Amino acid sequence: MYENLVYLLKNGFVDGEVIYNSQGTHPMFMWALYYPVFKYYREKELGEKYFEYYEYLARYMWEMGKKKGLTSPDFKGGLTADRCKDIFEPTT
């Protein structure tokens, strides 16, 4: 399902706002929750393309969510989305 949405989004057939309003932050939170599993399978078995569309959508929703105030400015305000920062914006 997400592969189709991302195809439409990437090719300009649907606006990101429409997807955000229909899917919300679900892809973002699910990616953050299951990131260790996705990472394991990417590294050990299925390669870096495993779930690439889902990751694209999750990151897109992350960026939209930040613009809409789902995170605190310094990620320390105790908002639920603040906990996803290390997945989407890891420190180097």
- CA distance linking residue 14 with residue 2, whole number of Å: 13
- CA distance linking residue 58 with residue 76, whole number of Å: 21
92 part of a folded domain: no
75 part of a folded domain: no
24 part of a folded domain: yes
39 part of a folded domain: yes
37 part of a folded domain: yes
Q: Output the six-digit token pair for 22.
A: 């229909």
Nearest Cα residue to 81 out of 56, 61, 53, 52: 61
Q: Output the six-digit token pair for 67.
A: 């613009």
Reported confidence tier of residue 1, pLDDT bands at 50, 70, 90? low
Number of domains in the chain: 1
What pLDDT, in 10s, does the model give residues 24-72? 888 888 899 899 999 999 999 888 888 888 899 999 988 888 888 888 8
- CA distance linking residue 64 with residue 55, whole number of Å: 14
Res 78 pLDDT > 70: yes
Structural domain span for residue 18: 2-67+83-87
72 part of a folded domain: no
Reported confidence tier of residue 13, pLDDT bands at 50, 70, 90? very high
